[in-house]
């Protein structure tokens, strides 16, 4: 699980990828645990955004404010990444240190898992060489996993209901470097696990110096 050794719970910044500026917002776990004012402020921000993501008039992944409120008090961290030139094109997710494939797994076996990935975008973004903020989101998490936690892979949990949907999703995430986890692990019905090896070539130096604040609990 993540722990927060700082006195801060929200970080904002930017980074360059594909000659494009991306901006990020990161909410650390255990938000405002020692400060009621911070707790109310940041929990309301998380519930308001992550519980109100819409795609084509429908809630993304059927996640509503009640769902977010139910689960936000555990060890999830929340990430939002968007393009500076298109601030309405937004990718977001929750991240956990977890290993759902092993019951009572030791912390040394925990991996960085991405849950509830959603992209909210405007109707017209089809430009030549236009890069989705999903690229930026994965890049951000790769850096967090490698620099801060010394991990070599990141994992993605994806909802799926039928075989054809599964194949479509697997092919989509191949474009981001993910492959299907072909182990026998099926931790949750109607979900699949994909993983991506972190390439050191994509790791940037000190642009995200906040990473030292997130440490694997000992």
Instruction: Return the SS3 of 163.
Output: helix
Instruction: Return the SS3 of 111.
Output: strand
| pTM, to two decimals | 0.85
Dump pLDDT digits (tens) for 20-57: 999 999 987 766 566 677 777 888 888 888 888 988 88
Average pLDDT estimate for 186-215: 65
Structure tokens at 183: 């182990």
Asked if residue 12 has pLDDT above 50, the reply is yes
Cα within 13 Å of Cα(102), Cβ side: 11
Is residue 80 within 8 Å of residue 24, measured between CB atoms?
A: yes
Specify the range with the lowest mean pLDDT, choosing from 85-89, 102-106, 172-176, 186-190.
186-190
Q: What are phi and psi of 212, to 5 degrees?
A: -65, -15
CA distance 176 to 135: 7
Is residue 61 within 8 Å of residue 159, measured between CB atoms?
A: yes
Any idea which residue has 């010394």 for tokens?
150
Asked if residue 197 has pLDDT above 80, the reply is yes
The CATH class of the 2-30+77-216 domain is: alpha beta
Dump pLDDT digits (tens) for 98-156: 888 877 888 888 899 999 999 998 777 667 678 999 999 999 999 888 877 788 999 99
- Burial label, 92 (beta-carbon count in 10 A; 0-12, 13-18, 19+): buried
């Amino acid at each position: 699980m993540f722990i927060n050794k700082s006195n801060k719970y929200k970080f904002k910044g930017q980074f360059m990828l594909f000659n494009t500026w991306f901006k990020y917002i990161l909410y650390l776990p255990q938000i405002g645990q020692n400060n009621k004012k911070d707790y109310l402020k940041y929990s309301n921000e998380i519930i308001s955004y992550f519980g109100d993501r819409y795609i084509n008039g429908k809630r993304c992944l059927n996640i509503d404010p009640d769902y977010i409120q139910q689960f936000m008090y555990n060890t999830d961290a929340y990430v939002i990444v968007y393009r500076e030139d298109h601030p309405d094109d937004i990718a977001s997710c929750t991240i956990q240190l977890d290993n759902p494939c092993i019951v009572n797994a030791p912390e040394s076996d925990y991996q960085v898992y991405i849950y509830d990935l959603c992209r909210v975008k405007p109707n017209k973004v089809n430009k030549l060489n236009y890069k989705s903020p999903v690229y930026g989101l994965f890049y951000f998490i790769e850096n967090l996993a490698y620099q801060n936690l010394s991990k070599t892979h990141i994992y993605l949990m994806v909802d799926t209901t039928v075989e054809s949907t599964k194949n479509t999703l697997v092919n989509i995430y191949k474009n981001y470097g993910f492959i299907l986890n072909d182990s026998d692990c099926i931790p949750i019905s109607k979900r699949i696990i994909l993983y991506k090896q972190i390439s050191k070539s994509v790791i940037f130096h000190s642009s995200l110096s906040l990473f030292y604040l997130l440490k694997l609990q000992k």
